[in-house]
Chains A and B, each alone.
Chain A
Amino acid sequence: MSADSETPASRVPDTPSAFEQYRIPLGLVVLVLFLRPVVSSDLLLGFEAIANRMLIIMLFVAAFNLLFGFTGLLSFGHAMFFGFGVYVPAIVVLNGLGGLAPGGSVTFFAGVALALLSVGVFSYLLALLIVGKGEIYFALLTLAVSQAIYFIALRDPWGLTGGSNGLTRGTLPEFVEQTRGQITIQAFGASVDWYWVVAVVFLLAMSGLWQVVRSPFGRTLIAIRDNEQLARAMGIDTTRYKVWSLTFSGLLSAMAGVLLEINNSGAAIENLGVLTSGDTVLMAVLGGINYFFGPITGAFTWLFVEDFLTDFEVWHIPTTELAIVSVDLGPALQFWQFFLGALFVVVVLTSPEEGIWGYVRTLGAGVKRRLEER
């Protein structure tokens, strides 16, 4: 630090204003407040439960993107971490744990703790083995490991996972109440709408993720993504950073899985499947992997389109006599994945890091410039 004593006359760029610095958490709060009213309006999807699922998947895809978008490691098997979060609490609630009775609230939280602990240890050890193997091998190895886990779960070892049927009965703790598809949480004599519980967990986990990304640790991850060779030459232990990035990503994915366990009242084998992993990649890239709000945008678009277009014909059946077009359109739009797949290919071939959110930002910047010119 010989030069530290020199005169600090040099200009240091201004730090952004508090509003600039905290606009991401603010944006998250706005998202949580408006998501449900907006998607459940009759003009759009018209039902509320989809909002719960959206928040959960957004968290999962954002966790995935910590690894892909912010560290440069493409995992093609992220469903395994997610699935851990779904299965472990479900198994524990169903069977009890040690002296804890099946179905108990304490049992559930013990299950959650066990899920996070096991995912933490598992993803850390897995990362130690595979982060040094090169990008493509990393993708293929995560795919292979998650397939191996999928087939193990499918075999229903010791009758724990329920094989291809998954776990559907007796997997909810007693504080969860379900009436006509609506979930409420009974705690301390009060009854809370499930959406707000999801929202709070979502906000906490996403704020944690945001803090990781903006911390010196997170900036180092971005540097590794941008130029790993340079990062190493500048004294960064890239392997250890990658290992912890995968571990954090695994933990947050498992958090999302825990929420889905309650939301879907149980575990399904598809939660561990290759399609779940693949959809995660698609959503992140569609949304824009370079941005914090990219995965959120991607997950929203994906789930919105899925529901909007799959329900299209159902929605139109009463009006078929009037609107003949919808009859022709319905069956084709059922295959919405074809069109999103095409959009995805275009995004990858043109601007793989920007996605929809990058496009929105560019548009926004353009509009802002126009307004300032006036």
Chain B
Amino acid sequence: MSDATPGVVGRTQRRLSALSPATGVGVALAVVLLGNAAVQETGLFIDQAIGGLVYGMILVMVSLGLALVLGLMGVVNFAHGALFMLGGYFTFTVMESYGLPFLGALVVAPLLVGVVGIAMEVVVLRRLYGSNPIIGLLATFGLTLMVEEAARFVWGASGLQPSKPGYLTGGTDLVVTQVGTYRLFTVFVSALSVVAVYYLITNTDFGLSVRAGVQDGEMTEFVGVNLPVRFTAMFFLGSVIAGLGGALRVVEFGVDPGTAEEFVILAFVVVVIGGVGSLFGSVVAGLLVGWAQFLVPVVLSSLAVVTGISALEIQGVGRLIPFLVMIVVLLVRPRGLFGEEGLLE
């Protein structure tokens, strides 16, 4: 792991330096606003910052698989949110019906989602590689509808939530505020899995062969790589990590059939902001969106305190934020923060 670190840092620097000066001004402004909020309402600010981190990490986990399939195979997989949702449902079932402990469920449920993902890839997705992305979007949209209906049939229309294991229920004291232990656990597990997947794709032969296959399928097959199997394996990986995200989330927030669409839309937002074709972009954008959604309301309310303009204190503005960010990013910089130019345009 440690050999990869300088590479990642170097690349990060290069990528950051490629951003425009206007971005720098924006970042500076953001720092001032955030600083103001941190001073005004320190406890709330840290609470929200951690909430945003948890949420952002979950978004990264859903987005990684989506970004992989989109960047590598050119398929806009609307059904990816359904995999995330299934992660939640499977966790509920293995815990409540089969009595598996939470940590066990955290392993079993994502693997089950991976199996569903393989089925999805082999039956539908494989037919879509290289075809018009709109067709892919439509087909996977239909697939989502089917999975949602199936979930409604099996688990019912209302939300389900397994009970949290005792050792993760308490709070952890962080001097100025108390943070739920489960939240810290989520951040830990998700960070670990995201780093692992990222490493696997950018730094191993496996990831390299798949990326080479995308560049030149015939040549890669010629040197003895079985591409369809590797594509399937890649899809399995994306499904598992989405399923793990769903499993982590269900314990705290529950799951219902609407979860699939809610999260796939957010994942699209993340991938588009980060830039199609860049996994790194998806990671950054996921965290950015998570924090933006949780911190903008605090920033606005503390700004309202400073300026005395109470109109700034808008309730429930958070859920609007990801879409506003996406619209602005696409209009100013269509390829996203770190995307390659020309993809899907």
List A residues at the B interface (Cβ < 8 Å): 74, 129-130, 133-137, 139-141, 143-145, 147-148, 151-152, 154-155, 274-275, 278, 281-282, 285, 332, 335, 337-338, 340-342, 344-345, 348-349, 352
Contacts and interface: CB of A to CB of B under 8 A. Distances in A.
Given A144-B323, A332-B153, A341 B145 contact: yes
Contacts of B152: 335
B123 to A, nearest CB: 9
Contacts of A278: 141, 145, 261
B134 A135 contact: yes
B159 to A, nearest CB: 16
A338 B127 contact: no
Contacts of B217: none
B143 interface: yes
Interface string B77-111: 00000000000000000000000000000000000
A348 B142 contact: yes
B345 interface: yes
B265 A274 contact: yes
Given A136-B137, A335-B153, A338-B146, A151 B334 contact: no
The 8 closest A-B pairs by CB, nearest first: A341-B145, A338-B149, A344-B142, A134-B345, A341-B146, A345-B142, A148-B323, A348-B139
Contact of B150 (A134, A140, A143, A338): A338
A136 B134 contact: yes
Interface in B288-345: 314-317, 319-320, 323-324, 326-327, 330-331, 334, 344-345
A345 B314 CA distance: 42
How extensive is the interface on chain B, given as a class? Answer: 35 or more
B146 A285 contact: no
A345 B146 contact: yes
B251 interface: no
B219 interface: no
Contacts of B331: 129
Contacts of A141: 326-327, 330
Contacts of B319: 151
Interface of B: 76, 124, 127, 133-135, 137-139, 141-143, 145-146, 148-150, 152-153, 261, 265, 268-269, 272, 314-317, 319-320, 323-324, 326-327, 330-331, 334, 344-345
A29 B323 CA distance: 42
20 contacts: A133-B330, A135-B133, A135-B134, A136-B134, A137-B272, A140-B268, A144-B327, A145-B327, A147-B265, A148-B324, A148-B327, A278-B141, A282-B142, A285-B138, A338-B146, A341-B145, A342-B142, A344-B138, A345-B124, A349-B127
A148 B320 contact: yes
Contacts of B330: 130, 133, 137, 141
A333 to B, nearest CB: 11
Given A274-B261, A338-B145, 20 more contacts: A74-B138, A133-B330, A134-B344, A135-B344, A136-B133, A136-B137, A137-B272, A140-B268, A144-B265, A144-B323, A144-B327, A147-B323, A154-B316, A155-B314, A155-B315, A274-B265, A332-B153, A337-B148, A345-B142, A348-B139
Most chain B beta carbons < 10 A, residue from A144, A274, A352? A144
A180 B215 CA distance: 65
Contacts of A147: 265, 323
A338 B149 CA distance: 5
A255 B211 CA distance: 49
Contacts of B314: 155
B107 to A, nearest CB: 29
A136 B76 contact: yes
Contacts of A275: 261
Nearest to B258: A275
A151 to B, nearest CB: 5
A225 B148 CA distance: 32
Nearest to B148: A337
Contacts of B327: 141, 144-145, 148
Contacts of A332: 153
A139 B334 contact: no
Contacts of A129: 331
Contacts of A337: 145-146, 148-149
Contacts of B268: 140, 143-144
